[in-house]
Structure 1
Amino acid sequence: MSSRPRHSVLFTCEHGGNRIPKRYAARFIDHQELLQTHRGWDPGTLQMGTYFHQRIPSQMFASQTSRLLIDLNRSEGHPSLFSKLVPPPGDSQRNELLETYYRPWRREVADWISRQVRQKQFVWHLSFHSFTPELNGEVRTAEIGLLYDPGRLPERAFCDRWRKKIRETFPTFRVRRNYPYRGVADGHTTSLRKRFSTNQYAGIELEVNQQLFLQPSGKVKKLIAGLYQSWSLALQQTSGAK
C-alpha cells in the first residue's frame, strides 16, 4: 500500500509585509506612517505562515509587498484592488502592477493547485490574515476568526473541528466562524473555489486579532505554536474522515 498522503497542504500570506519597491516609492513619500498600520499589511501573518510551513510538508507562497500598492486578496476588478488611501496609479502603472505583482503570484498559486489535483491530491489551503482590534469605531469581539464557505462540507467540517481544538488550547479565546468577515466575500480563497471543486480544494482563512501580536515574544511564540498544533490535529481528523 502506498504511503503517499491523500492530500497536499498549501499556505499563503497575501499581506505578509509592507514593502514598497523603489520604483513606486514616490507615491508613498507622504504615507510612511500609513504603511506601518493595519492598512499596509497584516502583522504576524508571515511569522505564522513560516512556522506552519517549517513543520509539515507543504507549499508556501508569501508576499511582502504592501497591499497599499496592490491587494493580492482582491479580485482583479474589485474597487479595493488599488487603495484609495494613496495617490492612484496611472493606467500604464496599473497594468504594470498587475503584470509584475498580481497576476504572476495568483497564477503561481493556481498552477500549483492544478498540479496537485492532476496527481489526485486534495488541497488544503490555509491563508493567513490578521485584523485590527477596532475598525471605524467598532470593537471586534474575537481573538480568532475562521473564514470558510459553509456550503462546502470539507471546509465546514474542518472549521468546526479546528474551533474546538483552539478553544481547548486557549480556553479564554473567543473563536468565531466567518468573522470579522464573511468567508464567501471577495478574496483569494473565494476565487480559487470558483476554479476547483469541493472534491479538489478547501480554502480556509485564519484571522488573528493583531492585539495578540503585541504581547511579549514568548507569548506570541506560544500563540503560534498552539494554533499550529490545533490546526494539525483538526486536519488529521478531517482528512481522515474525508
Structure 2
Amino acid sequence: MKTLEAQDAQLSETTIGEIVTKDYRTAQVFKSFGIDFCCGGKKTVAEVCERKGIDFKEVEKALQLTEQDAVGATHDYQSWSMTFLTDYIINTHHRYVKDNTLFITEIANKVARVHGDQHPEVIRVAELFNQVGAELLSHLNKEEMVLFPFIKELDEVLQHGGSIPGSTFGTVSQPIQMMEAEHEHAGELLHEIREVTHNFTLPAGACNSYTILYKKLDEFENDLHWHVHLENNILFPRALAAEKDLPKID
C-alpha cells in the first residue's frame, strides 16, 4: 500500500498522458476537472493543477477512487503493434470524424441561421466548427497519406529487420511535431465551443436541432480527446523511439 507521500510524489512526477495510458478510466476524472489529457498529456497533474487553480488533493482523491474500482475489459493499446494501432485509429477515430463532420457542420449552420438573433453564441459555434471540421479533414489526409505509412514502415523494420527507409520529410519528428500542433489547435477551437455554450447548456425551449447539435458537439470533442491521446501519448512516442533505435539506410 503506497503512503500518501509516495502517491503525491508519483502524481508530481508522472504525466497525465502516462496516467491515462495506464488506466483509461482516469480520462473521465481529468475531464470532470476540466483537465486536458490528450494535448496536455505531457504535463504532470501537479503542474496543471497549479496553472489552472485546481485543488490537487481533490484530483488525487478522485484518481484514487478510480484506482480502487474493479477494472473492466478494455483495450491494451500498449501491447498492440504500431501498425495495428495505426489501423485502429484510422478505422475508429478517423472514420468517426469523416462520418460526422458534414452532419455537424450542416446542423450548426442551420441552428445559427434560425436561432442566431436570439442566441448569438450559436453563430460563433458554427464559425468555429466550420473551421475545425475543415482543418481536421485536411489533417487526417496528411496522416493517412504521409505519416502513418511511414510509421507502418518503421514497424515492419522493427518486426522483421532491415533498415529505415528514406523519406521526403527527414526524421519522423518533423511530421509528428506538425500533427501535434494541429491537434492542439483543434482542441483549442473545440474548447472555445464548450466555453461559449457554457458546457453545452441548452436554452429553455431548445428545438430538436439545437439539442442534437450540442449532443453531437460534446460527443465529437470526447472522441477527439481519446483520438489525440492515442496518437500523442502512445503512437507518436513509440514511432520516435523506433526511429532512434533502428538502423538507417546509408
Same-fold status (TM-score > 0.5): no
Which protein has the bigger strand share?
A: 1
- TM-score normalised by L of structure 1: 0.29
- TM-score normalised by L of structure 2: 0.28
Greater relative contact order, per chain length (Cα 8 Å cut-off, separation 6+): 2
